[in-house]
Structure 1
């Protein structure tokens, strides 16, 4: 029977992977036994790497480079093709999304900037859930409503599969402010404050004790239902008119 020099039947493959992932390279060869294997990294022998597989359980960026294996038997040696290994750091945000306080009906836009191994893929989330179709560095809502309020973030994934999530941006949405209807007069009367405005259906007076308070509260009995409406307030506060 004729002697057979080594023949590589399956080459090691190039890979792109994230930091911390397992790097696994393998080769298959035929020929007269015994066959020996010697893995090399950037043309230098890797100590102890002498089997059909070479594994790094927790790959780091310094493991990026060119890998190959020399297959040898009594009839000769053969060097595999080069497997180019790229170990990528997780993407890094260079610009984070910013919290927004909006009024219902406005347009809002959240955006980020990130760098990492391209191509980068984005997935926006609200309250921990993916937003279907929101896969760009920017996310916009053209007619924001109170139901859109919440915690927004974006996950960016690089070509190696490494992922990073952005900071959380809080979107708050207040009810639509009324710009063409206003309080027409303020007067002191009987120990209280008398407010007068032109009323219409859906117009409500709201108050809060200080501007730092998180929530405006309806003043009871101030639903606008006529062309003139007045209410006596017993304590000082901040007031506004909204239309529902």
Structure 2
């Protein structure tokens, strides 16, 4: 079956997060389209700031995040402190939505230890896996296209599933935090994060200091839409001023 342009773009972005470079001829064969079609796809993705075009192919965008598996080994102590602080905000019996990411997986692991009787809706396999250690927590997993670099489902099916819920709290990570809001390095997870934020009474961002003042292509929410931030260091400069202006509650773990 021939893929749509949107599906091709999604597949190209998924592959480029797992390989150091992609070549036009290889992509054309894999996706069963002409090399001219792939060149146009890569040109469009380059114009959107999602890949860097090279002679004969493309490489990941400069500054793109490593895969979620690689990120799990970074800022471990900081993320554990963030996880404890985030878990403390969850009320008994709550329905919680959790997005994919290394920090959110730390939070999910802490939730599994500290809480009982919650319902958690997620699109992240790592989040679902660590929560499964607690049999009193009900985990609902969103269907969709599997994005290997994030270990999560994305796409229209995931979004439709998540739209059916109204959560007490959404817990989301971010690739970058600026005065404009929370951003992600990848387009597809960002689209899911937007849905999660829109379906929760309160949205909590969990992020270590390395995310401050970093800009990535896909903004999933402005600070008007985000209620709280748990981090490991006090934000400064324009970011701090924006957080104060919008009344975002900041907890430094």
**TM-score, normalized by length of structure 2?**
0.20
Larger strand share, 1 or 2: 1
- Structure (1/2) with the larger helix percentage: 2
